[in-house]
């Protein structure tokens, strides 16, 4: 499979648009926000049949100090017809105090391939998505996000209670009272778009 790594929002198509399984967290406590989010997506085999425009992505919703919704800070792995390649895509979204931007980095097999810095507000929640556009994407194999870490601006000891799962599993844990949350392995189950 060939996946292109982008840090742009997907284009919505009127023909077909659907989401599959996910792992989701948030919202954060009112006195905290997500300062940094890091994860590695181990890409699965191609969806079958290989139709549509399939995007697998981790993302973080943001809010501004005014309370207004911010942006979706996300790193995308988008399937295209072509060479079959197994890769590990690592995504890091880190708040930069000097610029008040979120600095985003995508690495493929340990090599940095993309960076982007945006004024997006503060991290309010984090999760994964399986997104299909244009035409039915068929069956997407099981895949995994590994070594996921969320670092809060201040400890959010109840953040574990915000987890939402749809065809996914993973244990959100902290060893420092809620300042740092980790998930060793997020398993996203096989899903068939209909």
3-state secondary structure of 161: helix
Of residues 20, 19, 16, the one with CA closest to residue 51: 16
* Cβ neighbours for 152, distance < 8 A, ≥ 6 positions apart: 28, 32, 33, 34, 35, 159, 178, 179, 180, 181
Cα gap 156→39, rounded to integer Å: 20
pLDDT at 179: 98
- Token pair, residue 189, equals 């189950």
Cβ–Cβ < 8 Å for 89, 26: no
Asked if residue 109 lies in contact with residue 88, where contact means CB atoms within 8 angstroms, the answer is yes
Sort 101 into a burial class: Cβ within 10 Å, 0-12 / 13-18 / 19+: middle
Question: How many CB atoms neighbour CB 77 within 10 A?
Answer: 23
Domains of the chain: 2-192 (2.60.120)
Specify the pLDDT at position 102. 95
This prediction's pTM:
0.89
Per-residue pLDDT of the chain (194 residues; tens, 9 = 90+): 333 333 333 444 457 899 999 999 999 999 999 999 999 999 999 899 988 889 999 999 999 988 888 899 998 888 865 544 557 889 999 999 999 999 999 998 889 999 999 999 999 999 999 999 988 999 999 999 999 999 999 999 999 999 999 999 999 999 999 999 999 999 999 999 99
Q: pLDDT (tens digit, 9 = 90+) per residue, 117-132?
A: 999 999 999 999 999 9
Q: Please state the φ and ψ torsions of residue 159, each to the nearest 5 degrees.
A: -60, -30
Provide the CA 110 distance to its chain's centre, in angstroms. Answer: 18
Measured distance CA(26)–CA(150) in Å, rounded: 11
Query: Residue length, the chain?
Result: 194
What's the pLDDT at 134? Answer: 87
- Predicted local confidence at residue 106, as pLDDT: 92
pLDDT tens column, 136-156:
999 999 999 999 999 999 999
Instruction: Compute CA distances 175 → 35, 40, 107, whole Å.
Output: 17, 21, 27
């Amino acid at each position: 499979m060939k996946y292109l790594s982008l840090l742009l929002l997907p284009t919505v198509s009127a023909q077909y648009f659907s989401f599959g399984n996910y792992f989701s967290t948030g919202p954060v406590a009112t006195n905290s926000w997500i300062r940094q989010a890091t994860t590695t997506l181990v890409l699965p085999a191609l969806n079958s049949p290989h139709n549509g425009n399939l995007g697998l992505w981790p993302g973080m919703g943001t809010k501004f100090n005014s309370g207004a919704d911010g942006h979706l800070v996300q790193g995308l792995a988008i399937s295209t017809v072509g060479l079959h390649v197994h890769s590990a895509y690592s995504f890091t979204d880190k708040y930069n105090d000097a610029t008040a931007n979120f600095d985003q980095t995508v690495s493929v097999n340990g090599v940095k391939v993309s960076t982007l810095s945006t004024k997006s507000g503060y991290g309010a929640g984090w999760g994964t998505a399986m997104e299909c556009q244009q035409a039915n994407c068929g069956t997407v194999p099981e895949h995994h996000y590994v070594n996921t870490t969320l670092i809060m601006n201040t400890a959010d000891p109840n953040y574990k209670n915000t987890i939402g799962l749809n065809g996914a599993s993973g244990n959100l844990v902290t060893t420092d009272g809620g300042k740092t949350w980790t998930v060793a392995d997020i398993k996203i189950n096989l899903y068939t778009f209909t």
